[in-house]
């Protein structure tokens, strides 16, 4: 079974985000980037399935500029066998990314596609669902447990009311949640081996995809600063303060 895993290059989660002075976006130059944490979980799950003999080949895929090659090398160090880089220098929106990922999935004739449930840069949580819709394949989002048995996938996902278990025939799409697993630490030998693994570079045109500019960022701003808290001595004072703010 061939598994495709999407990995996105994002600003590292430990970095304090700074808004550009003109409000046109956030500062990305000179800022540490890393693999989207949810995508690391997706890659870890694919590697575990391969170790169990359920998956025979893992292909990492990313969409973005030249620096995304670092992201793919990290994925290869995790255990991916090879990688596909859809090289695009301009900013890519979720629908265009989904179209590119769907095209790679069809090109590779894969049976299983793992994606993180969301990317921590825009928190859109929609690319996996778009890929499933474009490919007209079953999907299970926010997976907290994954079992593969022959040509079927059994996925436990977290919902508001508790846990929901879905079963569907492969091929299919799975987006991963935080509690699915804990990604392994990369070892130096694996990092060195990753440098020799192949990365195929393709363009949107090669995949028959045309970029779609459906969204436009108007302004980016820092969240408002929190106002100073109010100390109250009694419940009556608390109720009065909440009423003054129109909260009750």
Mean pLDDT along residues 160-183:
92
Q: What predicted TM-score, i.e. pTM, was given to this entire model? A: 0.83
> Domains of the chain: which residue ranges?
2-244
Calculate the alpha carbon distances from 99 to 19, 120, 133, 134, 244 in Å: 29, 20, 10, 7, 50
Answer yes or no: is pLDDT of 114 > 90.
yes
Alpha carbon 5 to its chain centroid, in Å, reads: 10
Q: How confident is the model at residue 99 (pLDDT cuts 50, 70, 90)?
A: very high
Rounded-to-5 percentages of helix, strand, coil across the chain: 30, 25, 45
Percent of the chain at pLDDT exceeding 70: 100
Mean pLDDT along residues 51-60:
94
What distance in Å separates the CA atoms of residue 71 and residue 88, rounded to the nearest whole number? 14
pLDDT 10s digits, 132-145: 999 999 999 999 99
What distance in Å separates the CA atoms of residue 80 and residue 61, rounded to the nearest whole number? 10
Cβ proximity of 45 and 177 under 8 Å: no
Cβ proximity of 131 and 115 under 8 Å: yes
Cβ proximity of 133 and 105 under 8 Å: no
Q: How confident is the model at residue 61 (pLDDT cuts 50, 70, 90)?
A: very high
Cβ proximity of 102 and 112 under 8 Å: no
Mean pLDDT along residues 42-64:
94
What pLDDT does 31 receive?
83
Choosing among 3.40.50.620, 2.60.40.420, 3.40.50.720, 3.30.460.10, the CATH entry for 2-244 is 3.40.50.620
What pLDDT does 200 receive?
94
Answer yes or no: is pLDDT of 24 > 80.
no
Answer yes or no: is pLDDT of 175 > 80.
yes
Cβ proximity of 14 and 31 under 8 Å: no
pLDDT 10s digits, 35-45: 999 999 999 99
Answer yes or no: is pLDDT of 163 > 80.
yes
Percent of the chain at pLDDT exceeding 90: 59
Q: How confident is the model at residue 101 (pLDDT cuts 50, 70, 90)?
A: very high
Calculate the alpha carbon distances from 114 to 18, 89, 163 in Å: 31, 24, 20
Instruction: Out of 22-36, 60-74, 119-133, pick the least confident.
Output: 22-36
Instruction: Out of 2-16, 87-101, 135-149, 208-222, pick the least confident.
Output: 208-222
Answer yes or no: is pLDDT of 213 > 80.
no
């Amino acid at each position: 079974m061939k598994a495709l895993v999407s990995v996105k290059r994002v600003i590292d989660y430990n970095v304090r985000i700074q808004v550009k002075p003109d409000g046109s976006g956030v500062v990305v130059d000179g800022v540490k980037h890393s693999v989207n944490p949810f995508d690391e979980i997706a890659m870890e799950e694919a590697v575990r399935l391969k170790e169990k003999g359920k998956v025979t080949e893992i292909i990492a895929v990313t969409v973005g500029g030249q620096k995304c090659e670092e992201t793919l090398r990290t994925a290869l160090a995790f255990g991916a066998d090879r990688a596909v880089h859809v090289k695009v220098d301009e900013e890519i929106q979720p629908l265009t990314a989904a179209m590119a990922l769907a095209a790679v999935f069809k090109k590779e004739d894969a049976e299983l596609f793992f994606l993180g449930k969301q990317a921590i840069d825009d928190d859109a949580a929609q690319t996996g669902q778009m890929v499933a819709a474009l490919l007209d394949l079953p999907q299970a989002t926010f997976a907290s447990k994954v079992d593969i048995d022959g040509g079927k996938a059994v996925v436990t996902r977290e919902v508001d009311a508790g846990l929901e278990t879905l079963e569907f025939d492969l091929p299919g799409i799975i987006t991963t949640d935080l509690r699915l697993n804990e990604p392994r630490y990369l070892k130096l030998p694996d990092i060195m081996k990753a440098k020799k693994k192949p990365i195929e570079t393709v363009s949107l045109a090669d995949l028959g995809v045309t970029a779609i500019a459906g969204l436009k960022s108007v302004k980016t701003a820092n969240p408002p600063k929190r106002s100073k808290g109010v100390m109250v001595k009694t419940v009556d004072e608390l109720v009065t303060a909440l009423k003054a703010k129109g909260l009750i």
